[in-house]
Structure 1
Amino acid sequence: MTTLPAAFLDAASALLGPERWRTDEPTRQAHGQDDSRRFALPDAVAFPRDAEEVAALVRACAAHRVALVARGAGTATTGAAVPFNGGVVLSFARMNRIVEIRAADRCAIVQPGVLNGDLQEALAPHGLFWPPDPSSAAMCSVGGNLATNAGGPRAVKYGASRDNVLGLVAVTGSGEIIRCGGPYTKDATGYDLTHLIVGSEGTLALIVEATLKLTPRPRAQAGLRAFYRDVASAAAAVSRVMAQPVVPAMLEFMDAHAIALLRHNGSDVPEAGAMLLIEADGDEDTLPYALQSLADAAEGDGMLSLDVAADGVARDRLWAARKALSPALRTIKPGKINEDVVVPVSRIPDLVSAMEALSVQADLPIVCFGHAGNGNLHVNIMYNDADAAETARAKAAMPKIFETVLALGGTLSGEHGIGVAKRDFMAQAFDAATLAAMRAVKAALDPAGILNPGKVLPPLAG
């Protein structure tokens, strides 16, 4: 049974009607969790159709001090879309229209509920694509990508979501509709609210429309797979690859544990201390030169072997190992804590070495892989979630990952965001003055504190 004020219930019901304002148990249950496996039951779920309805609902929530959590497709892994304070979940599922594709301006105007995969399909006939490609691309929403500043393997060349958005229409916590940026790539006018709101996880304003920066689709791709004696050799190769003029389209890393797991599950990879997957893209004339430049940079002390895949079938075969890795993790243990931390590329060996030591200390497998060109590694603690002792050791190991990353000059998240999973470590990542500035921005845009309360920023001490 809902505990929302009667006056608020009447206002919301009148605004959205019974089909788009739901308080029934099944709908509330279905919108109480995300891919973090955390759960909290909202009091109601709203399905607005346009920006004006979003603004009106936000104003009603602010007037009655009702918490409001925006939700895309629910693929987040940090609990950012879970309504821990009850209140209303605002689903953007019905705001899923591609408003306009402006191929001549290389931009698209979309509503937040558009799925990343659907957008890519719509852009393909125009020879364009939107670069962010998280692992959940087929099912995650553009609004969710923007809320968390999602990235993916292509971010090493094309950037994450923040680098591929030109403008926004958003609703602040006061229910005001603001417009920032637009269909242009150069802008020195006023404060950059667009890039402030992207990555704020629905805590500052709700994105109701986005103008996305599009990129011409490459006509040709080719891949390299390089094996190294140890992590230090692979990290040195990453530095060489990123120091030469040809920027790889993807540059992925796997440690020895990931390689052993792939071998155990039948993948065609040799024994090695580390592996890099490198991809080049471009056109048919320039691609061979780009590939040779990347191959030359990948060679060096500690390299064991190098495979080249110039055609589509061979390239797919090289990348099959990377695609098989996440499902293969579940064959080790059913439980997984996946932290997407970032360190300077030169500190990757130190991070992996520290994780090997932590694995011994916790008596749990820890597997590292990810986007080496950005220093963005996924540290996976594997445990049996039906075993209380293993679960306790896994949870106790997580803070040590963050302590290590910060000591190495890194940061807490590269693409998953903060949510509640990493919120309490923000005080270690930022000093008091910086956190105070963030809280001031939050108070300015969401004075009633209703937008996704309890996420991103840690509670004030005392």
Structure 2
Amino acid sequence: MDDLLTRLRAGLPAEALLTDPDVTDSYARDMASFCAAGTPAAVVLPRTVEQVQHVMRTATELRVPVVPQGARTGLSGGANASDGCIVLSLVKMDRILEINPVDRIAVVEPGVVNAVLSRAVAEHGLYYPPDPSSWETCTIGGNIGTASGGLCCVKYGVTAEYVLGLDVVLADGRLLRTGRRTAKGVAGYDLTRLFVGSEGSLGIVVGAVLALKPQPPAQLALAAEFPSAAAACEAVCAIMERGHTPSLLELMDRTTVQAVNKLARMGLPDTTEALLLCAFDTPDPAADLAAVGELCAAAGATEVVPAADAAESELLLQARRLSLTALETIKSATMIDDVCVPRTRLAEMLDGTAAIAEKYRLTIGVCAHAGDGNTHPVVCFDHADEDESRRARESFDEIMALGLALGGTITGEHGVGVLKKEWLARELGPVGLELQRGIKATFDPLGLLNPGKLF
């Protein structure tokens, strides 16, 4: 330990190295339940690429594991410390280095907060679409690490589609540049995409070139109440089948709606079994919403309420953004699943989740990016109740099994981390797992980068 700290201090300013156990313990875990976390030897908060390189060279020489972190808003334990590791927190590398309206790119450091970037590019008439629910606090580096999504994925896609190039410090301290600044480019293997979603297991992202879009018109939303989740999912399928391209298509079940009402007193309809939110940012959003409203009514909606203006639309979207926070108030702990299924199987996923909740005598609320089939069943339980905790874990696993059985995936945007390691192996199969482990060994032969995650 003394040798490690001495070597780290040799290349870091004093304020960048934290060793007080009371402080370092606060960096031990992200927001996931049921995920083991160890005790870090030290926490480093670098401000430069050179400082990150110094940490990785030191770690390699001394064979010390390194766990990269952003804002620790993750939900799979991917940022949890391991015993004796260096926690490398990148939140101080938070500069927006360039916004280029002609090339429509932004060049940023990993600690830039998603919402800060979004507001900065908006001043140039530009738009960075990926917007996770935690966008006010989560960082771009964390978004890249988990290949985050958000509410707008149905139209604009996920983080991976906006990362053009990366600066990455490898396990041995070398600096790798991947990708490009150009609109097109196919030179060599796509290493950029390989790092997106790798959860810090292949290298430390220290810079990113991000694609931007022109700022779209203000979106207009509607809310549709349904007597069942199946009816709401029928509407989702109809909307997509008819060729509509909403900027947002979100679903909240009855449990979620009631939790949001209790938390924020937003006046949402407590009696509905499913609430579908749809928005358009097209030149004539009112016409698009009218057409979608007819499809919702045909699917059995009991009421369809279009927002009168952008302010009302934003209120509806705020209700959806509060979903996870609101569900966390039901019990002392939550497990937030992240199962994505084909849109055509969405109703089966929701009905199956309701059956699992009944089987295990638990409250499980579901909010979903319905437009791309990405469901977030939230298992609410009392962490101090051993039996309830056991049932929560079993229900979580059964929900993931259901997702795979329906042709889906165990994670659409939250990552694997610690929480879903066993399930990743089931989804990939033995050949896929062998090849992925081989890629890990190529980039990190000593196994120092975020050990114990993914595999």
**TM-score when scaled to structure 1?**
0.93
Q: 2:32 pairs with 21, 36, 40, which one? A: 36
CA 1:93–1:329: 2 relative to 1, 3 Å: closer
Give the partner amino acid of 1:281. Answer: D
Residue ranges of structure 1 left out of the alignment (5+ in a row) = 458-462
User: Where does residue 11 of structure 1 map in the other structure?
Assistant: 7
Q: 1:121 pairs with 119, 122, 125, which one? A: 119
Secondary structure at the residue paired with 2:445?
coil
Conservation of the 8 A alpha-carbon contact between 1:148 and 1:417 = yes
CA distance in 2, matches of 1:305, 1:87: 54
Q: 1:444 pairs with 417, 442, 451, which one? A: 442
CA 1:239–1:64: 2 relative to 1, 3 Å: same
Question: Over residues 20-73 of structure 1, what are the superposed CA-to-partner deviations in whole Å (9 max), with x where a residue is unaligned?
Answer: 223222331222122225543200111222222212321221122110011111
Per-residue deviation, 1:169:
0.8
User: Where does residue 280 of structure 2 map in the other structure?
Assistant: 280
Give the partner amino acid of 2:311. Answer: V
CA 1:18–1:192: 2 relative to 1, 3 Å: same
Question: Over residues 116-170 of structure 1, what are the superposed CA-to-partner deviations in whole Å (9 max), with x where a residue is unaligned?
Answer: 1221222121111211111111111110111111111111111111111111111
User: Where does residue 382 of structure 2 map in the other structure?
Assistant: 384
Give the partner amino acid of 1:388. Answer: E
Conservation of the 8 A alpha-carbon contact between 1:244 and 1:297 = no
Conservation of the 8 A alpha-carbon contact between 1:262 and 1:269 = no
Secondary structure at the residue paired with 1:147?
helix
Conservation of the 8 A alpha-carbon contact between 2:29 and 2:72 = yes
User: Where does residue 402 of structure 2 map in the other structure?
Assistant: 404
User: Where does residue 430 of structure 2 map in the other structure?
Assistant: 432
CA distance in 1, matches of 2:312, 2:380: 31
- Does 1:59 pair with 2:63? no
User: Where does residue 313 of structure 1 map in the other structure?
Assistant: 311
CA 1:299–1:55: 2 relative to 1, 3 Å: same
CA 1:262–1:92: 2 relative to 1, 3 Å: closer
CA distance in 1, matches of 2:359, 2:314: 37
CA distance in 2, matches of 1:188, 1:296: 44
Conservation of the 8 A alpha-carbon contact between 1:169 and 1:209 = yes
User: Where does residue 355 of structure 1 map in the other structure?
Assistant: 353
CA distance in 2, matches of 1:367, 1:97: 37
Secondary structure at the residue paired with 1:282?
coil
Question: Over residues 435-460 of structure 1, what are the superposed CA-to-partner deviations in whole Å (9 max), with x where a residue is unaligned?
Answer: 01100110111111100001011xxx
Give the partner amino acid of 1:118. Answer: V
Conservation of the 8 A alpha-carbon contact between 1:16 and 1:47 = no
Secondary structure at the residue paired with 1:16?
coil
Give the partner amino acid of 1:407. Answer: A
Conservation of the 8 A alpha-carbon contact between 2:99 and 2:105 = yes
* Residue-pair matches, total: 451
**TM-score when scaled to structure 2?**
0.94
Per-residue deviation, 1:365:
1.1
CA 1:22–1:255: 2 relative to 1, 3 Å: closer
Conservation of the 8 A alpha-carbon contact between 2:146 and 2:197 = yes
Question: Over residues 309-355 of structure 1, what are the superposed CA-to-partner deviations in whole Å (9 max), with x where a residue is unaligned?
Answer: 14123223433542443343244322211111111111111112221
Give the partner amino acid of 2:150. Answer: G
Question: Over residues 88-139 of structure 1, what are the superposed CA-to-partner deviations in whole Å (9 max), with x where a residue is unaligned?
Answer: 0111122111111111111100000111122122212111121111111111
Give the partner amino acid of 2:84. Answer: G
Give the partner amino acid of 1:282. Answer: T
Per-residue deviation, 1:288:
3.2
Give the partner amino acid of 2:157. Answer: G
Percent identity over paired residues: 37
Per-residue deviation, 1:7:
4.0
CA distance in 1, matches of 2:167, 2:261: 48
Give the partner amino acid of 1:272. Answer: T
Q: CA RMSD in A?
A: 1.9
Conservation of the 8 A alpha-carbon contact between 1:259 and 1:271 = no
User: Where does residue 249 of structure 2 map in the other structure?
Assistant: 251
CA distance in 2, matches of 1:317, 1:79: 31
CA 1:189–1:298: 2 relative to 1, 3 Å: farther
Give the partner amino acid of 1:268. Answer: L
CA distance in 2, matches of 1:79, 1:181: 28
346-355 or 26-35: which moved more? 26-35
CA distance in 1, matches of 2:262, 2:144: 37
Conservation of the 8 A alpha-carbon contact between 2:237 and 2:344 = yes
Q: 2:238 pairs with 234, 240, 243, which one? A: 240
CA distance in 2, matches of 1:43, 1:450: 14
Question: Over residues 389-427 of structure 1, what are the superposed CA-to-partner deviations in whole Å (9 max), with x where a residue is unaligned?
Answer: 211211222211111111111111111111101112112
User: Where does residue 174 of structure 1 map in the other structure?
Assistant: 172
Secondary structure at the residue paired with 2:60?
helix
User: Where does residue 23 of structure 1 map in the other structure?
Assistant: 19
Secondary structure at the residue paired with 1:185?
coil
Question: Over residues 160-215 of structure 1, what are the superposed CA-to-partner deviations in whole Å (9 max), with x where a residue is unaligned?
Answer: 11111111111122222111112222111111111110110000111110001112
CA 1:209–1:431: 2 relative to 1, 3 Å: same
Give the partner amino acid of 1:277. Answer: L
CA 1:407–1:78: 2 relative to 1, 3 Å: same
CA distance in 2, matches of 1:49, 1:263: 42
CA distance in 2, matches of 1:336, 1:80: 17
User: Where does residue 339 of structure 1 map in the other structure?
Assistant: 337
Secondary structure at the residue paired with 2:223?
strand
Per-residue deviation, 1:245:
3.3
CA 1:130–1:59: 2 relative to 1, 3 Å: same
Conservation of the 8 A alpha-carbon contact between 1:223 and 1:278 = yes
Conservation of the 8 A alpha-carbon contact between 1:246 and 1:293 = no
